[in-house]
Amino acid sequence: AQSVTQPDIHITVSEGASLELRCNYSYGATPYLFWYVQSPGQGLQLLLKYFSGDTLVQGIKGFEAEFKRSQSSFNLRKPSVHWSDAAEYFCAVGAAYGNKLVFGAGTILRVKS
């Protein structure tokens, strides 16, 4: 069965510090992976996606993620966090074209000044 695990429910980092949010997936076929962000009171916005090719993908707002097939992971990183990055982050896995994504439970990021 498809599943996504985000081990960290909450993470707090200082402004300017680096960030890594973890995501592990279980998927029976070639996984297509996504990170979405939800700011308070907003819907979800796509940060980045991985379909194939280079395993390090760049997204919006200075985020990047690395696909590691051997570890079934797709961790999200940012070298220097800004206060505006405080939000909830969701990892998702699915087919490239289709109608169903499986989402993780989310990680809430708090940024302290």
Residue numbers at the binding site for other proteins (CB under 8 A): 4, 6, 9, 32, 34, 36, 41-46, 49, 51, 90, 94-101, 103-106
In whole angstroms, how close is the CB of 95 to other proteins at the nearest point?
7
Exposure of 1 by Cβ count < 10 A (0-12 exposed, 13-18 middle, 19+ buried)? exposed
Q: How far is the CB of 80 from other proteins (least distance, A)?
A: 27
Nearer to other proteins (CB atom), residue 70 or residue 99? 99
Tokens for 61? Answer: 């707002």
- Residue 33 CB, shortest distance to other proteins, in Å, is 10
Closest by alpha carbon to 88, among 23, 44, 24, 50? 44
Kindly state the smallest distance separating residue 45's Cβ from other proteins, in Å.
7
Q: Which is nearer to other proteins, 17 or 96 (CB)?
A: 96
Mapped onto helix, strand or coil, the DSSP state of residue 47 is strand
| Closer by beta carbon to other proteins, 36 or else 63 | 36
Residue 34 φ/ψ region, left for φ over 0, alpha for ψ in the -120 to 50 degree band, beta for the rest = beta
By beta-carbon proximity to other proteins, the closer residue of 52 and 113 is: 52
Q: Please give the single-letter amino acid code of residue 35.
A: W
